Amino acid sequence: MKKALFIAIALFSLVFTSCGGHKLTVEEAEAAVVQGENENLPLMLQKLSNVESIVIDSIHIRIVDEPMSGYLYTTWKYVVEKTIRPTVDEMMRGNYSSKHIEEQREKQVIVEVSNIHQSEEHKGYIEWQTGWADAYRVILNDMY
């Protein structure tokens, strides 16, 4: 009796878990992350000073089992503001004003994407975390 009950429970759990969900594929994860991040970029750009644009060039998933992780390869266009102070010779000639120059730059930055998984609360949704703050620090280091 115990053996039959054990087999019935094992079969039920096997059927329940195999029918319970669709396994997330790498292609689905890549598409969801790129689409979601492209939709959020305009709002994020408003918060980043001197950054004019960010383009997601490609995505690479390196861990293919949930939770997946990988990298976004991005291109950032930004402005670096420089102040050029007058030299001693210029100051001797009466020129005390500094020159302000804006230089356009472009840099490729790799952004980490982690914890890519199907939402347990919302069926059909894919969730992830993106390291935009770390990527912005790379740009800030280049600015100053």
In 3-state terms, what secondary structure has residue 15?
helix
pLDDT at 141 over 80: yes
- CB 51, CB 76: distance < 8 Å: yes
Q: Which amino acid is at 57?
A: D
User: DSSP letter at 49?
Assistant: T
45-95 residue pLDDT tens: 999 989 999 999 999 999 989 999 999 999 999 999 888 888 888 778 888
Beta-carbon contacts of 83 under 8 Å, excluding residues fewer than 6 positions away, are: 98, 99, 100, 101
83-128 residue pLDDT tens: 888 888 877 888 878 888 889 999 999 999 999 999 888 888 999 9
